Amino acid sequence: MQQRRSATAAQMMVSNNLAKQIRGKPLKDLHAVIALCLQRNPGWVKASKQALVKVTYDGPTKISDMAIVQRKAFGLAQLNQFRQAADAIQGLANAEKNAKMQGWLKQQLAEYLHRFDKPQAQEILLSAAALNRCLTKPLGGITYTKLGVSTISQALRAETHFGTKFKNVNEIVIWLHGLIGDLNFYEDDAERFEKAMALLGLAVGLETQRPEGELGKGPDDLWVLGSLRFLIIECKNGATTPFIAKKDADQLAGSVNWFRGSYDQSCQATPVMVHPSLVFHQTASPMADVRIIDGECLAKIRAELLSYASAIGALNALPKADLLQSFLAQSGFTREKFVPNFTKTPKRS
């Protein structure tokens, strides 16, 4: 593990030095640099190898304590000693402080428990899913946790997200550029795009969820704009038809009905569909207040997200709420401006 960290640190240093050279330059310059890597330019390969040649290690390779216990539990399970395997993972789960990691460990615990106590395994799996929504769902489903409880400002939420997730400005800029790449119309890659939409909301300081992916029902993405206002988002990034089909309109209507059943009447929601087309098919029955993020809108989101990344990249330290509020306003990502700036009224064929 030590060797891997040292080699990764050396490669990150090369990347950080390169990031400093292209900071503030147009996107085409970034594309040229990316091409050097993807096309294995001899100069780029030589620079990467030279960085690794200089790496030194501070001692023998160290395997994490967690990995040792997990391997022990696996070995016990191979001998049909599932209770002992469960006890080993239980200790790891109890000691883990990170909620998502603890949920992952609890899922492993449930797998061992299932061999001798199925009801208890389902209870543990329910607890795991509450900590980490990306895990296997229990047979009885999980309780939906509503959004919109927090009242902190959009800028402060963005500051907290960046401060928790990243160590420096360069990491934020690299992450935002990756997000820009994911916000494109890709066929057969719904997961990638739906996740990117959720991350876009987090990047600009909004609460987000992916109810359909996490619960198996509801919209692809749900955003909280604040003041009990929400965006119900259905992503049809892989659509290839020149119109929005009836089934897509019906799916968005179903997500609106789910929202009305999950939230009380004081909450207002705007239905949004991400689709290459702005035109509903003549057989479709779109809701009167539906908004569309078409190709032009999505391109505008990418362009403004690039400006947002550039503004953050020009800083010498992790961004604070006052600066982020200014950056959000300049890019049009404030909760008041997002819908008018980045969505359109649909048309009928």
What pLDDT is recorded for position 2?
44
Report the percent of the chain where pLDDT is more than 90: 61
Band of residue 84 on the pLDDT scale cut at 50, 70, 90: very high
Q: 122-140: per-residue pLDDT in tens?
A: 888 888 888 887 887 777 6
For residues 250-262, give the mean pLDDT: 95
Looking at residue 205, what DSSP letter applies? T
- Residue that the structure tokens 């947002």 belong to: 308
What pLDDT is recorded for position 307?
96
What pLDDT is recorded for position 181?
93
Is residue 48 scored above 90 in pLDDT? Answer: no
Band of residue 142 on the pLDDT scale cut at 50, 70, 90: low
Of 33-42, 70-79, 292-301, the least confident: 33-42
Report the percent of the chain where pLDDT is more than 70: 95
Give the integer Cα–Cα distance in Å for 85 and 78: 9
Residue type at position 38: L
What pLDDT is recorded for position 311?
96
Q: 271-326: per-residue pLDDT in tens?
A: 999 999 999 999 998 998 999 999 999 999 999 999 999 999 999 999 999 999 99
- 102 membership: H or E segment, kind and range: helix 99-113
Is residue 5 scored above 90 in pLDDT? Answer: no
Query: Which residues are within 8 A (CB) of 40 and not within 5 positions of it... i.e. 6 or more apart?
Result: none
According to DSSP, the residues that pair with 232 across neighbouring strands are 222, 271
Computed over every residue of the chain, the mean pLDDT equals 89
Highest mean pLDDT among 14-28, 43-57, 60-74, 315-329: 315-329
For residues 25-51, give the mean pLDDT: 80
According to DSSP, the residues that pair with 208 across neighbouring strands are 223
Q: 162-215: per-residue pLDDT in tens?
A: 999 999 999 999 999 999 999 999 877 888 999 999 999 999 999 999 998 877
DSSP-derived secondary structure for 8-30: HHHHHHHHHHHHHHHTTS-HHHH
What pLDDT is recorded for position 57?
65
What pLDDT is recorded for position 214?
79
Beta 207-209 vs 291-293: how paired, if at all?
A: unpaired
Is residue 1 scored above 50 in pLDDT? Answer: no
42 or 231: which leads in pLDDT: 231
Cβ-based neighbour number of residue 55 at 10 Å: 13
What pLDDT is recorded for position 61?
67
What pLDDT is recorded for position 122?
87
176 or 41: which leads in pLDDT: 176
